[in-house]
Amino acid sequence: MSTDTPSGGEAPARPAASPALAPTTSLAPAGSAPGSAPAPTVVSPARPAASLASAGSAPAVTALAGGVGAARMLAGLAAVLGQPSIAAVINTGDDTVLHGLHVSPDIDTVTYTLAGVSNREMGWGLAGETWTVMEALGSFDGVAGRSLTWFSLGDKDLATHLYRTGRLAEGATLSQVTADVAQRFGVGAQLLPMSDDRVETRVTLRDGHEAYGHEAYGHEAYGHEAYGHEAYGHEAQTKGQPARMPAGSPAGAVVSFQEYFVGLAHAVPVAAVDFAGIEAARPAPGVIEAVETADLLVICPSNPVVSIGPVLGVPGVAQAVTRRRETTVAVSPIIAGRALKGPADHMLAELGYEPTAAGVAEMWAPYAATIVIDNADAALAGRIETLGVRCVVAPSVMSGPAEAAKLAEAVLGVAP
Residue 86's nearest CA partner among 110, 104, 112, 103 is 110
In this structure, the number of other CB atoms found within 10 A of the CB of residue 76 comes to: 23
Band (pLDDT 50/70/90 cuts) for residue 197 is very high
Strands 338-339 and 86-90: unpaired
- What gap in Å lies between CA 123 and CA 20, rounded to an integer? 28
Per-residue pLDDT for 69 more than 50?
A: yes
Provide the β-strand partners of residue 22. none
Residue 258's nearest CA partner among 70, 6, 71 is 6
Per-residue pLDDT for 81 more than 80?
A: yes
Residue 135 lies in a domain: no
Residue 157 lies in a domain: no
Provide the β-strand partners of residue 392. 41, 372
Residue 104 lies in a domain: no
**For residue range 311-328, what is the model confidence (pLDDT) as tens digits?**
999 999 999 999 999 999
3-state secondary structure of 391: strand
Band (pLDDT 50/70/90 cuts) for residue 124 is confident
Quote the percentage of the chain above a pLDDT of 70: 75
CATH code of the domain in which 280 resides: 3.40.50.10680
Q: Are 92 and 199 in contact (CB under 8 A)?
A: yes
**What residues contact 343, with CB distance under 8 A and at least 6 apart?**
261, 266, 270, 303
Kindly state the average pLDDT of the residues 293-309: 96
**What residues contact 183, with CB distance under 8 A and at least 6 apart?**
none
> Picking from 43-47, 155-159, 332-336, which range would have the lowest pLDDT averaged per residue?
43-47
Q: What is the mean pLDDT of the chain?
A: 81
| Domain region containing 320 | 19-94+198-230+241-413
Most confident of 117-126, 242-251, 381-390: 381-390
Burial of 62 per CB tally in 10 Å (0-12, 13-18, 19+): buried
CA dihedral 316, 283, 108, 76 (to 10 degrees): 50
Q: Are 300 and 70 in contact (CB under 8 A)?
A: yes
Distances (CA, A) of 69 to 188, 211, 361: 19, 28, 17
- DSSP E strands in 5-106: the ranges are 41-42, 61-65, 86-90, 96-98, 101-103
205: enclosing H helix or E strand: strand 200-205
Residue 78's nearest CA partner among 70, 90, 292 is 70
Which of 114-135 are b and which e, b meaning 16 or more Cβ less than 10 Å from the residue's Cβ?
Answer: bbeebbbebbbbbeebeeebbe
Number of domains in the chain: 1
Kindly state the average pLDDT of the residues 177-202: 98
Q: Which residue has the higher pLDDT, 287 or 338?
A: 287
**For residue range 329-352, what is the model confidence (pLDDT) as tens digits?**
999 999 999 998 888 999 999 999
Residue 8 lies in a domain: no
Per-residue pLDDT for 163 more than 50?
A: yes
> Residue type for 31, please?
G
Three-state secondary structure of 186-202:
CCCCEEEECECCCCEEE
> Residue type for 121, please?
E
Residue 192 lies in a domain: no
End-to-end CA distance of the chain: 47
What does R_g of the chain's alpha carbons equal in angstroms? 20
Kindly state the average pLDDT of the residues 193-200: 97
Q: Are 147 and 1 in contact (CB under 8 A)?
A: no
- What gap in Å lies between CA 213 and CA 206, rounded to an integer? 13
Residue 131 lies in a domain: no
Provide the β-strand partners of residue 370. 329, 390
Residue 136 lies in a domain: no
> Picking from 155-164, 223-232, 400-409, which range would have the lowest pLDDT averaged per residue?
223-232
Kindly state the average pLDDT of the residues 123-146: 93
136: enclosing H helix or E strand: helix 132-138
Provide the β-strand partners of residue 48. none
Residue 193 lies in a domain: no
In this structure, the number of other CB atoms found within 10 A of the CB of residue 273 comes to: 24
What pLDDT is recorded for position 414? 80
> Residue type for 58, please?
A
